[in-house]
Structure 1
Amino acid sequence: MRDLKADLKRKQQIFAQDGADVSMLRIWMADGTSANVLYRCMRWCATHRLGLVAYFFQWANKFLNGCVIGSGADFAAGFVIMHPVGIVINSKVSGGHNITLESGVVIGDEKGRSPTLANNIFVGAGAKIIGELTVADDVKIGANAVLTKNANKGATMLGIPAKAYMKTNNGVNQ
């Protein structure tokens, strides 16, 4: 449950960065928090060999939040689901600290191989991350981007297929 506490504190930090000073009570009531709670409960049960109970939490997340996360999906502390509807995550996915997901995100496998996400990653609404690839630290994946190749540290990935873009003083350059 330590990870859940870190998830909620990180969500509160995200709100603060956007200029909203919100209480922990409001964070508990925010969209996506129930999906985070059910994911952490499912994951705890799965790691403690309580498969049937883990399946119950997975099922509850699917029907209450429209969010399907495989019981083997493993995210470190600071995992934040902002809007859970349409999120689908394969059981083989692993992620580091401080990963933020918006609605409609799919993180899936291709031919039995799944992505690995490092730390401090933002995934925009509708983005897809598919196949055996690595998303390095500090990456932002834009809304509706389709990532099928590795993303290097600090990159902003945009488009279909996703390509790295860097912001310059004059705008955005590829």
Structure 2
Amino acid sequence: MSILTLIKLDFKRKREIFLDDGSNLSVLRMLFTDGTSANIFYRLASSCSKHKILSPLALIFQHINRIYNGCTIGVKSSAGAGFVLMHPVGVVINSSVKMGRNITIESGVVIGAEKGLSPELGNDVFIGAGAKVIGKVIIGDNVKIGANAVVVKDVPSNCTALGVPATARLNK
């Protein structure tokens, strides 16, 4: 999928999350929120990292994202279409993390490796503010991770993970 297509799908999903009325003023407000620029810089960095000649540019985009938006997202991490950073400040995502479609991340989230092993996120995952997902864990589809939860074990599909360490409960 091309970078422009991914950015367009990210915008479409963010618009669905943020806006009810669809007015032009609301679209402008959405476009100028901090999470939107973080998404764009991430997509640019990720795209550039796939081409050896552009890899220095990828690191520049990553650095700009860190300074301008306060987040660090590894250039080799992968996120499917519909990736939304609601508030990017404090977000850290390891380079080897693989994320499916429609991932929504709040502020202060860390998705990191442990001993070189990184999490894999399914589709339609929401991660609340301050949550941590660490190590070789698999997060299923349609999962919600609560604010400040610390996930160190797999979370099956259709569950909500809460607590420290997080325990999964089936969604009703």
Shorter-chain TM-score tier: over 0.9
**Equivalences for 1:86-101 in 2 at 5 Å?**
86-101=90-105
Aligned to 1:171: none
Aligned to 1:41: 44
Q: Which runs of 5+ in 1 are unaligned?
A: 169-174
The range that moved more, 92-101 or 42-51, is: 42-51
- Give the superposition deviation at 1:21: 4.1
- Report if the CA contact (8 A) 2:159-2:171 is conserved: no
Return the alpha-carbon distance in structure 2 between the equivalents of residues 20 and 57 of structure 1: 33
- Report if the CA contact (8 A) 2:158-2:170 is conserved: no
- Give the superposition deviation at 1:11: 0.3
- Report if the CA contact (8 A) 1:15-1:21 is conserved: no
- Report if the CA contact (8 A) 2:141-2:157 is conserved: yes
Matched position secondary structure for 2:34: coil
Return the alpha-carbon distance in structure 2 between the equivalents of residues 150 and 74 of structure 1: 19
Aligned to 1:145: 149
Change (3 A) 1:106 1:63: same
- Give the superposition deviation at 1:25: 2.4
Of 8, 24, 32, the residue aligned with 2:27 is: 24
**Equivalences for 1:71-90 in 2 at 5 Å?**
71-90=75-94
Aligned to 1:130: 134
Return the alpha-carbon distance in structure 2 between the equivalents of residues 32 and 47 of structure 1: 23
> CA RMSD of the aligned region, Å?
1.3
Matched position secondary structure for 2:156: coil
| Percent identity over paired residues | 52
Normalising by structure 1, what TM-score?
Answer: 0.91
- Give the superposition deviation at 1:86: 0.1
- Report if the CA contact (8 A) 1:93-1:108 is conserved: yes
Q: Which runs of 5+ in 2 are unaligned?
A: none
- Give the superposition deviation at 1:157: 0.3
Q: Is 1:158 matched with 2:166?
A: no
How many residue pairs get matched? Answer: 166
Matched position secondary structure for 1:32: helix
- Report if the CA contact (8 A) 2:149-2:161 is conserved: yes
Of 99, 102, 115, the residue aligned with 2:106 is: 102
- Give the superposition deviation at 1:7: 0.4
- Report if the CA contact (8 A) 2:137-2:152 is conserved: yes
- Give the superposition deviation at 1:167: 5.7
